[in-house]
Amino acid sequence: MKKPVFNFSPGPAMLPAEVMLQAQNEFLNFQGTGMSIMEVSHRSAIFQQVIDKAEADLRKLMSIPSDYKVLFLQGGASTQFAMIPLNLMRKGKAVFLDTGAWSQKAIAEASKYGQTHIVASSKDSNFSYVPSFEKEEIDQEADYLHLTQNNTIFGTRIHSLPVSGKVPLVSDMSSMLLSEEVRVEDYGLIYAGAQKNIGPSGLTIVILREDLIGYAQYSCPKMLNYQTHVDKASMFNTPPTFPIYMTGLVFAWTLKEGGVKAMEEKNMAKSSLLYEYLDQSDFYRPDIASPHRSRMNVCFHTPSPELDIALAKFADEEGCKFIKGHRSVGGIRASLYNAMSIEGVAYLIEILKQFKRRA
Amino acid sequence: MKKPVFNFSPGPAMLPAEVMLQAQNEFLNFQGTGMSIMEVSHRSAIFQQVIDKAEADLRKLMSIPSDYKVLFLQGGASTQFAMIPLNLMRKGKAVFLDTGAWSQKAIAEASKYGQTHIVASSKDSNFSYVPSFEKEEIDQEADYLHLTQNNTIFGTRIHSLPVSGKVPLVSDMSSMLLSEEVRVEDYGLIYAGAQKNIGPSGLTIVILREDLIGYAQYSCPKMLNYQTHVDKASMFNTPPTFPIYMTGLVFAWTLKEGGVKAMEEKNMAKSSLLYEYLDQSDFYRPDIASPHRSRMNVCFHTPSPELDIALAKFADEEGCKFIKGHRSVGGIRASLYNAMSIEGVAYLIEILKQFKRRA
């Protein structure tokens, strides 16, 4: 019998099977036009409907208030690391919570454009937890407080949002957007690369409050100025049309499946199942302590680096793809984005049990 | 009988039917992996092979010398308008040939980062020709001379490359890359959005000479520094994997079809056929005089703006899609990229004849 394939890639990651089938079916002939959606002008009515529906569905999914803009951009979170300070650093200072590689990249970029202050860091323990801090520790004159809300590499998650006073929260939600409910009103700006929960790579979603727009530094490249994209509704230049189309299909699927609340419940069930197995095991060791654990990226180790490698290979052969940990952490990482089924997680646990017996 | 569909979109544009079929066939299961190429990690061996082959095929197609780097980036030509001066303006001045909207956008961005000088412009005649100039008019201390080698909006093409002395040529080849043979050695940097001759939107190709790399301005965002992407072979962050895959398929198809020389011959035949019809017509009026004509974007007018609109509508109904001219020029534009067949052009001419008889 052919083995099942369950894709635990940290991103680009698996997409819902229904979405993939629909995209394949209409790949050569989109809605009877005789053309692929990939082949039509972004200025056509055909594509305009696609992007408009994608935005409307995302607004519905996240209950995005009307004073927030939604942008479909390129360049990934790495481009946002520069775009955010170039646009938001009006007073020239920003505060960061340092929870690992992504935070640090954001800090390094922001340092070119203004002052940066790290309010708390878990560097001392190789980012195995999310450090806490008090509102009083945040300079109330800062332009923003930056968070990596879920850390894909270390498998941490910020479980309670810090109170920042009048300082807007800026959150990198790359590996958690639409995986759990968030109150958009609590943020000044939310950004995410699409290639985790919501679509293929090559698309970046930015949700930002209107009053933060229009203050870019003079040297800010036009393409890195939020105002440029707000003025032209994400069509200042040719957008990544196929990734937007795919992401739109995922948004529609997410709505059909019950929305973000349903995803959150499913994601809690999936991650709990796996963490519970790991916690009771005398063989596997989860990297992160309970309150700081990501629901998206479950990171753990076997008793040795050699066994980690052997497990990743064994799991791959058995149909559990891409569970090798990030090169900077080692070990094992299973990414359980929205499209991963509970059956996939149960199957992974079976494979972990088999490997343990063999080891 | 069902009408044929021929897609004359200026971009995103039609792709070869064979490529689209292959992509559809392996959309759910890439090379027996049980996963879509869209769903695999960019750090996987599966994707590494895809991007390596795409680069190797492009190098073969264009005979790219070994001292030139090939980058797969995001953000389109509009991002290059800033990236080029941020990286190349070591002495702080650049020279531009102004052939229309795209040149002007490049000039506006470069002006933020250094001095710009326009060596020649055809603005006086709404960019209906490519102005010439002498080598002596180019400041030999300039960092580069920028050209829009084919202008998609006005339908012009630079038919003979200017002699620039020791000043590197930087060419926007967005709407002509792989449509005709070019000598890469003649350029310092070549860039192109993929969504015309070579792939879907969301991917930008940059080919640049090694000695130009490593001199970015301090304020240059890390993602806009060529060095960043050279150091990591276009994988500093998650690249647009599916657009790279599609573009790789188009490169392989182009090789199979006989390479760039074969494309050039086919494109000359296609554009000549259409221009010859327009030239002998007493109804249609080509916008551009013979030596300056684009082979990719054939722009013309009927006797009136009302008839232009009526023609675009009639052609659309008859299966010739997206022939409306750019909103800043009006009239009609038929884009004849590599994937367009000579049969498509012959069919368009039939439709033009029918419309003329009806009008």
At B347 the pLDDT is: 98
Choose, from A102, A253, A266, A270, the residue flagged as catalytic: A102
Predicted local confidence at residue B234, as pLDDT: 97
Q: Which of A155, A176, A162 is nearest to A293 (CA)?
A: A155
Q: How many CB atoms lie within 10 A of CB A241?
A: 27
Cβ-Cβ contacts under 8 Å for A249 (sequence gap 6 or more): A19, A22, A23
pLDDT band with cut points at 50, 70 and 90 for residue A359: confident
Other beta carbons less than 10 A from residue A334's beta carbon: 29
- Please answer whether residues B254 and B246 qualify as being in contact, where contact means their C-beta atoms are separated by less than 8 angstroms: no
Q: Considering only alpha carbons, which residue of chain B is nearest residue A193?
A: B238
Q: What sections of chain A are H helices per DSSP?
A: 17-25, 45-62, 76-88, 101-111, 226-231, 241-256, 259-280, 305-317, 342-358
Residues in chain A: 359
pLDDT in tens, A129-177: 999 999 999 999 999 999 999 999 999 999 999 999 999 999 999 999 9
Q: Could you give the residue ranges of the DSSP H alpha helices within B191-319?
A: 226-231, 241-256, 259-280, 305-317
Angle at B295 between CA B15 and CA B135, to 5 degrees: 125
Residue of chain A minimizing CA distance to B86? A221
Give me the count of residues in chain B.
359
| Number of Cβ atoms within 10 Å of the Cβ of A316 | 15
Answer yes or no: are the C-beta atoms of B252 and B89 closer than 8 Å: no
Which residue in A12, A40, A322 is closest to B241 by CB distance? A12
Task: Answer yes or no: do B13 and A221 touch at CB < 8 A.
Answer: no
Question: Does the reported pTM lie above 0.90?
Answer: yes
Q: B36, A22 in Cβ contact below 8 A?
A: no
d(CA B185, CA B183): 5
- pLDDT > 70? residue B277: yes
Answer whether B26's CB lies under 8 Å from B348's CB.
Answer: no
* B46-77 residue pLDDT tens: 999 999 999 999 999 999 999 999 999 999 99
Cβ contacts of B15 within 8 Å, gap of 6 or more = A36, A38, A39, B199, B200, B246, B250, B339
> With 60 as the cut, is the pLDDT of residue A304 above it?
yes
Under 8 Å CB-to-CB from A13, ≥6 apart: which residues? Answer: A7, A195, A196, A197, A335, A337, A339, B39, B41
Express each pLDDT in A256-285 by its tens digit.
999 999 999 999 999 999 999 999 999 999
pLDDT in tens, B198-238: 999 999 999 999 999 999 999 999 999 999 999 999 999 99
Residues in CB range of A31: below 8 A, 6 or more apart = A46
Strands of chain B (E only): list them. 6-7, 68-73, 93-98, 115-121, 144-148, 150-151, 156-157, 169-172, 189-193, 204-209, 285-286, 297-301, 320-321, 332-335
Active site residue B172: yes
Local confidence band at A87 (pLDDT 50, 70, 90 cut-offs): very high
Q: How close A325 comes to chain B (CA, Å)?
A: 12
- Looking at the complex, does the CB of residue A89 fall below 8 Å from at least one CB of chain B? no
Whether pLDDT at B2 is above 80: no
Rounded distance between C-alpha atoms, residue B339 and residue B213, angstroms? 33
pLDDT digits (tens, 9 = 90+) for B157-189: 999 999 999 999 999 999 999 999 999 999 999
Contact predicate B92/B117, CB 8 Å: no
Whether residues B7 and A35 touch (CB distance < 8 A) is answered with yes
Q: Is the pLDDT of residue B1 over 70?
A: no
CA distance A86 to chain B (A): 9
* Torsion angles phi and psi, residue A332, rounded to 5: -125, 145
The token pair that represents A175 in the structure block:
């590996």
Residue A1: band (very low, low, confident or very high) from pLDDT cuts 50, 70, 90: low
Establish if B313 touches chain A: CB-CB under 8 angstroms.
no
Q: Does residue B131 carry a pLDDT above 60?
A: yes
Interchain pair A200, B12: CB under 8 A: no
Residue keyed to tokens 């680069």 = B55
- Complex prediction ipTM: 0.97
Q: In the predicted model, what is the mean pLDDT of residues B69-90?
A: 98
Q: Is the pLDDT of residue A4 over 90?
A: no
Q: Please report the pLDDT score of residue B3 as a whole number.
A: 76
Structure tokens at B130: 């490519």
| pLDDT above 80 (res A3) | no
CB A27 within 8 A of CB B27: yes
- What are the tens digits of pLDDT across the range B113-125? 999 999 999 999 9
Q: Which of B33, B44, B242 sits opposite A242 (nearest CB)?
A: B242
Check CB contact of B249 with chain A, cutoff 8 Å. Answer: no
* Residue B109, pLDDT above cutoff 80: yes
Please tell me the distance from the alpha carbon of residue A287 to that of residue A276, in angstroms, as a whole number.
Answer: 13
Q: B347 phi and psi, to 5 degrees?
A: -65, -40
Q: Tokens 């971009």 label which residue?
A: B11
Residue B356 CB coordination number (10 Å) = 15
